[in-house]
Structure 1
Amino acid sequence: MSASGYVDRPGDFIASVPGSLGFLPHRSLILVILRTDSAGLEVRDRAVVARFDLTDTTASISARLRHVIATMDADVVLAIVVDDRLALGTVPTSAPPPPSRILLEHLTRDLMPGPARIRGAWATAHITAGAAFWSLNDPADRGVLPDPALTPAALRRTVLGLPIQQSKAALAETLTGDPACVAAVAALLPDTLTTAQLARSTAHHEEEVSSFDQHGLWMVLTRISDIATTTKSLPPPVVARLGAELSIPAVSQCLPATAVGEHRTAAEALWTQLTRSLTGAARANPAVLLGHSAFLRGDGVLAALAVDIALDADPGNLTARLINAVLHHDLPPHALHRLARYGTAAAADLGIHIDQ
């Protein structure tokens, strides 16, 4: 899509935000960040959608925004304010500007030295079907939102068994598994993990070890492909086997590559299922992959939730600590893009190509 396409059809892209985030934002600032070519067409196949609380400081939002812009080499930013306290339209000129307008003015100034500009800003009380939206720059630019549940982003989530949640808290609940399933997997996992590790430790030569690793990686990738065509939950024996394979470093180091490939949504659905179902240190591996994928698509909320789970399961997990450092701005975001590239190279060493 061209940048003007977003601006010309703001209702459509505002309605697509819940499908991108996974939940209905409430009292939030949404920034849609994209990179365009010389013709104004979007270079990547979808924009990064980042959400912030309206109570976040301008400095913290600006820091995160500049990181994303630098990582993407982005040049266009679009802003959406979601606030149930807002009234339709603009405030009288004699009244003080609302905090959201002040926030956007500060962000606009902060971006001035760089290549990116805020090309449009809109507001709505709720992102729901029939809700009014209006431009914060042009009083004539207003309309009503289509049904967010019918947008392509939402429909993709529905097909994969990832419906839009009503709130951020409800999203966190989606990472909590069914107790009966969790118990069944926990009973199977120790023996399954021992089998996977024993096969490699008793191999007679390096090529045999690589063969086990290749088979394990291929099994995980096959499950990602399968999950795109079904909404059924995986049975406990399959979850245990996947958990065991993800615990093998030669396998798990390849999988960050799935966060930027054509099957990234399906991969994220699998990581979510495994995070819900696994326990102990094995839970850290899918949680890390979920956090990595969520961060790269601009969902810092889900990334933080997943990383907290990973660090709770395995405080020494280096990848979880890396993502956590990026989330707290201690490291630049491009460190996480490198993980995807390293994953592609590691998979190639096993003779498997992961599409980018």
Structure 2
Amino acid sequence: MTRRPYPVPRHRSPSSATADHPVVTSVGDLIAAVPALLGFVPARSIVLICLSTGSPTVVEMCMRQDLSDRLDSPELADVIERCGEVCTREGLDAVVAVLITGSKFTMPYEVVADALRDTLDPRGIDLFGVHHVSHLAAGQRWRSLGGDPRCGTLPDPGSSQVAASRVMAGRQIRTSRSEIALLLQPVPESECERFRNSRLRVELEDGPVGHSDLLADTVVFLEALHASDELDHLTAARIMVAISTIAVRDAVLGLATTALGPTAEAVWVELTRRVSGPDRAHPATMLGAWAYLRGDGPLAGVALQTALTADPDYRFAQLLDTALQNGVRPTVVRELVLSARSLAEDLGVELPPDAE
């Protein structure tokens, strides 16, 4: 298949980039943009950048998978197949692959390029290029595969226009995927035990509480937290009791697009860290939904993986994880949010309006 350079938008010059729509004009710049596109710096990975061609050609989504030492890795075959399915479903017509391998990785990379062509060609999807780099760092040499002569030196990924765009939009670029996992690292067992005791105390003292009251109380608690930013054990325990009730959990999702959204997300992080056992799936899934909604795929993936590790049968986490793994856009979560607001109304609770 003919290898083509990545086209510069015809209706504007490279200098016309804006914070919202940065322009990438070279292979090296596109490779350097991978950390910003993913939200973290990947290592030992294959990254598939899915494009819609036109004027300009637009990056629509990225998919990433750890690279195995085995050429017949089912994970590698799966991500390539899913990439083809996503492109077909979304009407995307080109892919760029970037292999980040580390300095000691010895896989014959051409085999990966062949596997990509075998999957994409029958679907009419162009493979614009398959590029290899050891590490995503300034000064690293990159090269192209499949007879493509392009090669060069990587510019600083942290100084790319795409990175600047992400930072200006208030989104983080983490140093690694493991940094995300550290956000959800459990507190010491003594703290988990203290939280379990607080939850038992709440359940004993409050007794059975109706769904409407649980939801209304949760909104009040989050409003107070929004003002004070102090989450004590009893308040955390009461919110945990609420989202452990499926009908209330589903309605609480309606807060994701309100001014209380960031406060609620911080609570989901704290609850995920404080809770152990299967119940950890409740707050971890809520965090996954929040992250998915705003397009933070890496955090959503880690949160949902945490939920499913805690409870492999947790249906809400299964549904969101399947959607995320298959490249379904965040609009699927927005639709759930709209349904959640209707559920809240049915419970007689008026949620705050959407944030502007």
SS in 1 for 2:210: helix
Establish whether residue 213 from structure 1 lines up as the match of residue 229 from structure 2.
Answer: no
> What does residue 67 of structure 2 align with?
54
Residue 30 of structure 1 deviates from its aligned partner by 0.7
Whole-Å separation in 2 of the counterparts to 1:266 and 1:14? 35
SS in 1 for 2:98: strand
- How many positions carry a matched residue from both structures? 322
> What does residue 12 of structure 2 align with?
none
Deviations 1:126-174 (A, max 9, x none): 11244333444754552323143883477479x78x77244x5554444
If the length of structure 2 is used for normalisation, what is the TM-score?
Answer: 0.67
Equivalent residue letter for 2:218: G
* Equivalent residue in structure 2 for 1:344, among 338, 349, 353: 338
Equivalent residue letter for 1:125: S
* Equivalent residue in structure 1 for 2:208, among 179, 198, 209: 198
> What does residue 30 of structure 1 align with?
47
Q: Give the 3 Å change call, closer, same or farther, for CA 197–155 of structure 1 in structure 2.
A: farther
Whole-Å separation in 1 of the counterparts to 2:154 and 2:78? 31
Whole-Å separation in 1 of the counterparts to 2:143 and 2:261? 33
> What does residue 25 of structure 2 align with?
8
Establish whether residue 79 from structure 1 lines up as the match of residue 92 from structure 2.
Answer: no
SS in 2 for 1:123: strand
Whole-Å separation in 2 of the counterparts to 1:143 and 1:343? 45
Whole-Å separation in 2 of the counterparts to 1:267 and 1:13? 35
Residue 284 of structure 1 deviates from its aligned partner by 0.9
> What does residue 206 of structure 1 align with?
none
Q: Give the 3 Å change call, closer, same or farther, for CA 213–148 of structure 1 in structure 2.
A: same
SS in 1 for 2:208: helix
> What does residue 18 of structure 2 align with?
none
> What does residue 124 of structure 1 align with?
133
Identical amino acids, percent of aligned pairs = 23
> Structure 2: which 5+ runs fail to align?
1-6, 10-21, 345-349
Q: Over alpha carbons, which structure has the higher Rg?
A: 2
Deviations 1:19-65 (A, max 9, x none): 554543222111122456x64364xxx74322112334453122221
Whole-Å separation in 1 of the counterparts to 2:142 and 2:263? 32
SS in 2 for 1:78: strand
Whole-Å separation in 2 of the counterparts to 1:117 and 1:25? 24
* Equivalent residue in structure 1 for 2:115, among 101, 106, 114: 106
Equivalent residue letter for 2:239: L
SS in 1 for 2:185: coil
> Structure 1: which 5+ runs fail to align?
88-96, 202-208
If the length of structure 1 is used for normalisation, what is the TM-score?
Answer: 0.67
Whole-Å separation in 2 of the counterparts to 1:98 and 1:312? 31
Question: Does the CA contact (< 8 Å) of 2:185 and 2:273 recur in 1?
Answer: yes
Question: Does the CA contact (< 8 Å) of 1:20 and 1:153 recur in 2?
Answer: no
SS in 1 for 2:82: helix
Residue 84 of structure 1 deviates from its aligned partner by 2.2
Establish whether residue 66 from structure 1 lines up as the match of residue 84 from structure 2.
Answer: yes
Establish whether residue 282 from structure 1 lines up as the match of residue 295 from structure 2.
Answer: no
Equivalent residue letter for 1:310: A
Deviations 1:196-246 (A, max 9, x none): 773326xxxxxxx2x6525535755997xx69xx9x885544533432332
Alignment of 1:320-331 (within 5 A): 320-323=317-320
Whole-Å separation in 2 of the counterparts to 1:3 and 1:269? 40
> What does residue 186 of structure 1 align with?
196
Residue 253 of structure 1 deviates from its aligned partner by 1.8
Residue 123 of structure 1 deviates from its aligned partner by 2.4
Residue 177 of structure 1 deviates from its aligned partner by 2.1
SS in 1 for 2:209: helix
- Indicate the RMSD between aligned Cα atoms, in angstroms: 4.7
SS in 2 for 1:199: coil
Whole-Å separation in 2 of the counterparts to 1:200 and 1:113? 55
* Equivalent residue in structure 1 for 2:307, among 307, 310, 314: 310
Equivalent residue letter for 2:102: D
Equivalent residue letter for 2:64: R
Whole-Å separation in 2 of the counterparts to 1:123 and 1:39? 27
Q: Which moved more, 1:232-241 or 1:344-353?
A: 232-241
Question: Does the CA contact (< 8 Å) of 1:287 and 1:307 recur in 2?
Answer: yes
Whole-Å separation in 1 of the counterparts to 2:264 and 2:274? 15
Question: Does the CA contact (< 8 Å) of 2:41 and 2:173 recur in 1?
Answer: no
* Equivalent residue in structure 2 for 1:144, among 154, 167, 170: 154
> What does residue 205 of structure 1 align with?
none
